[in-house]
Amino acid sequence: MHRIVLVLSALAAAAASAATTGFWHVEKIDGRDWAIAPDGRPTVLAGVDWVWPAGFHCEALGYSPYGRFVETNYPSREAWADETADRLHSWGFNFLGSGCDNALLSPRGFAHAVMLNTGYRLAHDKDKEKAISPGLNRPGTAFPNVFHPDFEAAWDLAAARAAEKYRDDPNLLGYYLDNELSWAAGMGDRENGMFDAVAALPPEHSARKALDAFLAEWAEAHHKSIVEAAPSASVKVAFLSFVAERYFSVAAAAVRRHDPNHMVLGCRFAGIGAHEEVLKAAARHCDIVTFNLYPWADLDRGIVLTRKDGPPVADVLTDFHDKVGAPLLITEWSFSALDTGRPCSDGAGQRFRTQAERVEAAEMFARTLLSLPFMVGHAWFMWVDQPALGFNKYFHEDCNYGLVSEEGVPYAALTEMFARVHAEAGKWRIEPHCSQMANATNVHTSTMTIPESSEREKFFDAARKSFVAGAPSPADAVAFHQEADGAWSLSNGLVRLSGRIGSSSMVEEVARDGRVHGRCNALVMTTAPDWPPVTRLVSATPQEAPGGCRSVVLVGEGGEAARTEATLPVKGPAFAIAIRLTLAPSSPDILAEILSVRNLGATPLSVQKLFLCPFAAGDAPPERVPMPVNVWKGWNESWWRLADGARYGAVSHDESADGFNLWTEADGRQHADIPFRPLANPVTLAPGETLQAPRPMSALLRCIAE
């Protein structure tokens, strides 16, 4: 009782000290950041994204399932809005996030935000000079040219148009500047990417001219030559800071010039991995720093992590805030479950088998967020589920993200949980937060820690059991052959792997029962604009393995053009990656293991992920078989479906496996992404240094005839 009285007293004190301005703003009261409502009430923002009656159009169906449900079951859009508002209020939601029908819902008692998206649009402009990283019509790819002559005018026009409509709106929380820009400029490296991308532009490009001028000024200020300044890591970070300052100062000034009543809500960072200098610039110019984050809940330990094998999210968010120094708002987060009929094969976040598990994970994260003194709220992604058949064949998202189904039925356990948690939101803001690190047993810290049980042990155990069961498996059932011209093969009479030294693929043919299903290659995710694949197989070495199995160790080089040892080291990113493929007698499975990667270049190599790449055979583009990813205690799994119905793909239980995804571009190009993540991410290798996994990163390649 005494503790409850203290909490109520603290809430009353916060309410008494907050200013009444007639518009939303933020204040720090007794060390805690609060969103202050127009009437002066300290408020925890509890939001939902994409609350709208139209729903999501499904190309395969030719209509929006939820949109059709709304049209059929409500006499008007206003009737839909009345019921939806009543539901949201009863579940404790008070804020409309991105993608909502603000015109319908904000007058019904909700704060709302406006998305300007000006940088994103500039990066997709037909004038390619308006981009540093041209957008690919999906989040995380675009970054505008902040030095283009039209950059300031574009923000001024966008802010003026928005302010004309919203300047006097008391329900408006503020303006999102953009969504998930590529602060690494499409290069994958948060420190060097922006500099390297601009440095690669033609000399006449306005961003390149700005970089040249920046280098000249920096060199003069530090009494160095341009040659001395250009390769410096500190110079690259300084330029990134310069770009961030330019972006946020111009955008925020335009908003405040036209609408001094409302807040600047940041740019919705994609996660919490942006460089500290970018975060500081955001904090200098934004009232709230916003970000999207899809964490990983460990239900066994009762803790939420940043990713499957990452640190506790509460501690990482605290560190993030220490770098930012401004109030934070998470503008997207969610979990999905597989019991709704949705494949959950594409889209961010963790999946669970049941709604009960989904709710448990969501409650853990919601309470974690609300207990952090610098978090002013959250926005759940999203109101309604995505179509089970996805949006279209190029944008596959098909997840159970919704508070309600496409038939308008609430997920009762989830909405009841939010109602309960939101009712206690003020209490969680007042009570001190305890770090979850104390509960985080077995949190990995070494660079390449791999779980104790791997595909390798399972594979060999199955092979041994086949001997015990008396399955036909003569000693020479798995045979390796290599010809003088470099051609090699590994076969067990059922599956045959083959290739040739000097080939651009590590395995040219993966065949079962004489039918070629595809090939297999490898690549390294580095800081280069294009993730470099293996371009030359340099060796194929046989190995004996337990249980009558036999392996071939393949070493391939990639990055720079083909080379010989006499030409090493080379100037640009270059690597050698070793994989091992193993066959067992009478088994259709292929054990594929990544063993190591070596830096062959003259400069440090940033290794972010290592990929196996099973490409499908055939002239026609293969179909992508929708499979759930990131499932709690589930497999990583992805498949191609070939023209005759056969399947070719990969499955893994390895904890370093990171969201398998086989898919095609609009032009039919295959993306065969079977990634594994070193625990310390990225790992920087010095020239000549090798990253050796203490245990191989493993998956099973499978050919299935259907």
- Give dist(CA 489, CA 663) in Å, integer: 28
| Domain final position from 409, 439, 469 | 439
**Nearest one of 124, 121, 269, 134 to 200, comparing CA atoms:** 134
Residue 33 lies in a domain: yes
pLDDT at 380: 98
Task: Please tell me the predicted confidence (pLDDT) of residue 331.
Answer: 97
* Average pLDDT estimate for 186-197: 84
Whether residue 444 is contained in a domain is answered as no
Specify if 494 maps to a domain: yes
What pLDDT does 49 receive?
Answer: 98
C-alpha gyration radius of the chain: 27
Among the listed residues 632, 84, 91, 95, the one whose alpha carbon sits nearest the alpha carbon of residue 355: 632
Note whether 459 and 435 are same-domain residues. Answer: no
Whether 589 and 483 share a structural domain? yes
Token pair of 695, please? 């245990």
Domain edge (last residue) among 412, 439, 466: 439
Give strand pairing partners of 697.
Answer: 594
Please check whether residues 615 and 554 belong to one and the same domain.
Answer: yes
Same domain, 546 and 657: yes
Q: 145-159, 192-206, 675-689: which range is least confident on average?
A: 675-689
Q: Cα separation of 638 and 662, whole Å?
A: 6
- Tell me whether residue 217 is in a domain: no
Please tell me the number of Cα atoms within 13 Å of 310 on its side-chain side: 20
pLDDT reported for residue 225:
67
CATH classification at residue 560 = 2.70.98
The total number of residues shown for the chain amounts to 706
Average pLDDT (21-36) is 94
Q: Give the predicted TM-score (pTM) of the model.
A: 0.83
- Same domain for 289 and 239: yes
A 10 A CB-CB count for 600 gives 23
What pLDDT is attached to residue 312? 94
pLDDT at residue 275 is higher than 50: yes
In one-letter notation, the amino acid at residue 260 is: P
Look at residue 220 and tell me if it is in a domain.
no
Question: Could you write out the DSSP letters of every residue in 538-579?
Answer: EEEEEEE-STT-EEEEEEEEESSSP--GGGPSBSS--EEEEE
The DSSP string of 630-646 is: SBTT--EEEEEE-TTS-
Of the residues 408, 439, 470, the one at which a domain ends: 439
295 and 254 together in one domain: yes
pLDDT of residue 443: 30
Model pLDDT, residue 572: 54
Per 3-state DSSP, the chain is made up of helix, strand and coil in percentages (nearest 5) of 30, 30, 45
Give burial (CB, 10 Å; 0-12/13-18/19+) of 418.
buried
CATH of the domain at 39: 3.20.20.80
| Residue 44 falls inside a structural domain | yes
How does pLDDT run across 593-624, given as a tens digit for each residue?
999 999 998 888 888 889 999 999 988 889 88
Domain count, the chain: 2
Say if residue 357 is in the same domain as residue 462: no
365 and 431 assigned to the same domain = yes
Only one residue has tokens 């190591």, namely 596
- The pLDDT value given to residue 209: 96
- CA–CA gap between residue 580 and residue 480 (Å, rounded): 13
Q: What is the pLDDT of residue 440?
A: 35
Question: pLDDT tens, 414-426?
Answer: 999 999 999 998 8
**Which of 34-38, 438-442, 536-540 is predicted with the least confidence, judged by mean pLDDT?**
438-442
In this structure, are 370 and 492 located in the same domain? no
Top-confidence range, 190-204, 407-421, 667-681: 407-421
Report the percentage of the chain scoring pLDDT > 90. Answer: 66
Return the pLDDT at 546.
85
Together in a domain, 465 and 395: no
Mean pLDDT check: name the lowest of 32-36, 289-293, 428-432, 669-673. 428-432
Residue 564 pLDDT exceeds 90: no
Q: What is the mean pLDDT of the chain?
A: 88
Residue pair 230/200 in contact by the 8 Å Cβ criterion = no
For the segment 285-333, what is each residue's pLDDT rounded down to a tens digit?
999 999 999 999 999 999 999 987 789 999 999 999 998 889 999 999 9
The pLDDT score that the predictor gives to residue 43 is 95
AA letter at 450: I
C-alpha to C-alpha distance for 143 and 272, rounded to whole angstroms: 17
pLDDT at 567: 43
Residue 438's pLDDT band (cuts 50, 70, 90): very low
pLDDT tens, 329-348? 999 999 999 999 899 988 99
Q: Return the pLDDT at 432.
A: 52
**Would the pLDDT of 173 be above 60?**
yes
Helices (H) and strands (E) in the chain, counts: 16, 36
Where are the alpha helices (H) located in 341-430, listed in sequence order?
355-370, 412-423, 425-430
State the Cα–Cα distance between residues 637 and 659, nearest whole angstrom.
Answer: 8
In a domain, 196, yes or no: no
DSSP 20: -
Residue 207 in domain: no
- Do 469 and 340 reside in the same domain of the chain? no
**Same domain, yes or no, for 156 and 305?**
yes
Range from 17-21, 385-389, 506-510 carrying the lowest mean pLDDT: 17-21
- Annotate 320-347 with DSSP letters as a single string: HHHHH-S-EEEEE---EESTTS----SS
* Domain range for 361: 2-188+231-439
Mean pLDDT for 517-535 is 85
CB count within 10 Å of CB 516 equals 18
Share of the chain above pLDDT 70, in %: 88
Q: Closest Cα to residue 345, out of 638, 704, 658?
A: 638
